[in-house]
Copies of this chain bind each other. A is one copy, B any other.
């Protein structure tokens, strides 16, 4: 139960649009709205197509032409933008638009990295609770938005130092209203964890493409590529600006992960570059990796 009856979504792409659709659907257990109260949802994006489409569909109640108008009267402001755009938005909210943020409003975000973003919000003294719904898909934009996107997915919540308990509950209620599972982490722990299972894999995926595509074997290789290749390069097919924002705002953790992978690859080279590679040793190595993944 929260008082967030006016919600401003800044960014109406896949994530912002999916939040809007999920909130409009209403009804999942833990929904944030008092019975019978319909939230007012307003949306604004730098590009107006998303809000216009969402307004036309009745998902949004209003699509004001400017960010400051979108903020008017908001109880909860959701920055649904990639990491670097979130930093810029926080600079606006903490700077020129400070006076447009209603007293008592909570600001949250959905970006893939948290430490740099939470620190920026704290520096501005904003009532900020970082958020990261662990859900996505390759397609981007409002047209791909899906009310079910967050159902049963983790939604990490990272309260900033300047957030009140009310800010935290409001953000958690948002996640629950979208059907997600709450997970409270400090920003550094989140970033190390997200680097391990998401940001490092993203860079590895790109590195694989860089190392292989166009190389000497590529002409024949491209005709053979099957599901393994598709899976291993899927992340690298995503949005480059998003990837760059993630890498730039989680560079230390991603670099540490790359160093760990390099050390492992060096051990593989030792095993493979012997005069006679030992199948038993290689099998033990693959089996160990398999057991790690199976949690055994």
Contact = CB atoms under 8 A, between A and B. Distances in A.
A30 interface: no
Contacts of A5: none
Interface in A183-226: 183, 185, 189-190, 192-198, 200-218, 220-226
A37 interface: no
A264 B205 contact: no
Contacts of A209: 289-290, 292-293
A232 B210 contact: no
Given A208-B201, A217-B189, A244-B282, A251 B229 contact: no
A259 interface: yes
B194 A224 contact: yes
A236 interface: yes
B193 A220 contact: yes
A115 to B, nearest CB: 13
Interface string A227-264: 11101111111101101110110011111011111111
Contacts of A264: 207, 210-211
Given A196-B215, A220-B193, A226-B153, A292 B210 contact: yes
B260 A269 contact: no
Interface in A77-93: 84
